Amino acid sequence: MEEYLTMSNREIDKLKVIQNTIDGRLTWPQSAAILSLSERQIGRLCAKVRREGNRGIIHGLKGRVSNHRLPEGVINKAIRLVKSRYPDFMPTFANEKLLENHKIKISVNTLRKAMIKEGIYRPRKVKPKHRSWRPRRSCVGMLVQLDGSDHNWFENRGPRCVFLTFIDDATSRVLYGRFIPVEDTINLLRCAKEYLKINGRPVAIYVDKDSIYKVNRQASVEEELRDKVPLSQFARAMTELGINMIFADSPQAKGRVERGFKTHQDRLVKELRLAGISDIAQANKFLDEIYMPKYNSRFAVAPASPVNAHRALLKTHNLEGALCIKTVRTLACDYTLRYKNQFLQITAEQEVRIRPGNKVLIEERLDTSLHLMFKGKYLRFKAIDKRPYRGYYAANKSVLRAMEKPSVGTSVPGKDHPWRRFPLKKPVFLQRQILQQSKYKQYPHN
């Protein structure tokens, strides 16, 4: 009987690496570096896949409760005791006192995380460690360094632009390069899309801490409660595609791409001058056909392993839906959303139930088209023209002009005014009141 397995994209990628190890195309150290595991664990996974087949790559506790889970309320009880009796204790000392005086046994690391979350303990700053030379990765695609260089590439013959490059760490080869007007999120996503279509998905991308790569702000209260780290649009897209993001603390950390820009600013500027190129379109064509093949043949080195660690784009990877700008909007009571001064009307027939107040994810793709998603399903909608509110005076311009012009002359109505031609009769109760007042004047009381 045929058996069906449910595997995540991460498990599929891990299975490919383990299968290459079993077939002899990868060594244990290379597989351990790709999967960030120890060599002994690689050996265990290989043995398990040989014994159980593809099921061996799936963890045995998947979908089950951990065997080492603490009983309910133990951490809450420990935190209450620390707040009341040991508020100034370090996590290790507080853990010893909890075990000694209250018979509560938990790990120091668990107690430390709980104390930090509650604000009882503030971790100390760790002194910087000694830095050493980092060796190259063994395979192509294990680590790709990405950066852009804003420079006067055309020497005042054309507009100032940015040269964006994807450089392989194992070989120093330029895998993809493009001239772009400005290094922003949209141009970055476009270049990443072309790179992924040509080369596939690398294991990790090494970037700096620029705002288009990393959100350099503190997490909000809502994000801290959900235990989520704020991500930029590019980092979010790479995470959805299963690509790790590594952020360099200094330019020297990603020296391959930084040193490469020094070479480009010397050689490429002169090559463009000799070729008489002064615009971005011709420069990109020159990069693909002449410059990058010549540069790679001159400066690239051979990798330690001939295996290409790039992974293919799977059918489950929605490339258009990942490489886009995603924004959350709240559905109004009239089932409309507002996005960039546009009004989007949700239609009645949908695959999922949606109500006012729900959070809808808006995808603005690279072709400027909009797609709405809720609970993993795309919604049907249409763009509408919603007129702004216009009051009575705004609609009646003649009344507004009359109000703006001050009246000239007396406020007493003229003889031909309708108020004089058709006098209004006084109410009955006013007539009685006047009659009583006249009688009172004729016969005053003593």
320-365 pLDDT, tens digit each: 999 999 999 999 988 999 998 889 999 988 899 999 999 999 999 9
Distance in angstroms (rounded) separating the CA atoms of residues 97 and 435: 98
Q: Are residues 98 and 192 in the same domain?
A: no
356 occurs within a structural domain: no
The domain boundary, picked from 270, 299, 328, lies at 299
SS3 of 167, please?
strand
434 phi and psi angles, rounded to 5 deg: -65, -40
**Overall pTM > 0.85:** no
Q: Are residues 186 and 252 in the same domain?
A: yes
Q: Are residues 167 and 264 in the same domain?
A: yes
Q: Mark the ranges of the chain whose per-residue pLDDT is less than 70.
A: 1-2, 129-131, 387-411, 418-446
104 occurs within a structural domain: yes
Q: Are residues 112 and 50 in the same domain?
A: no
| pLDDT for residue 252 | 81
31 occurs within a structural domain: yes
17 occurs within a structural domain: yes
Q: Are residues 150 and 294 in the same domain?
A: yes
* CB-based contact 308:139 (threshold 8 Å): yes
Q: For the domain that residue 198 is a member of, what is the CATH number?
A: 3.30.420.10
Q: Are residues 154 and 282 in the same domain?
A: yes
249 occurs within a structural domain: yes
| pLDDT for residue 172 | 93
User: 167, exposed or middle or buried, with CB in 10 Å at 0-12, 13-18, 19+?
Assistant: buried
Domain range for residue 233?
Answer: 144-217+228-299
284 occurs within a structural domain: yes
The domain boundary, picked from 299, 324, 343, lies at 299
Distance in angstroms (rounded) separating the CA atoms of residues 270 and 158: 14
Q: Are residues 23 and 150 in the same domain?
A: no
Q: Are residues 165 and 30 in the same domain?
A: no
Q: Are residues 209 and 268 in the same domain?
A: yes
410 occurs within a structural domain: no
* CB-based contact 258:218 (threshold 8 Å): no
Q: Are residues 157 and 291 in the same domain?
A: yes
Number of domains the chain is built from: 3
Region of 369 (left: φ > 0; alpha: ψ -120 to 50; beta: rest) is beta
Q: Are residues 185 and 245 in the same domain?
A: yes
Q: Are residues 92 and 203 in the same domain?
A: no
| Chain length of the chain | 446
The domain boundary, picked from 237, 268, 299, lies at 299
175 occurs within a structural domain: yes
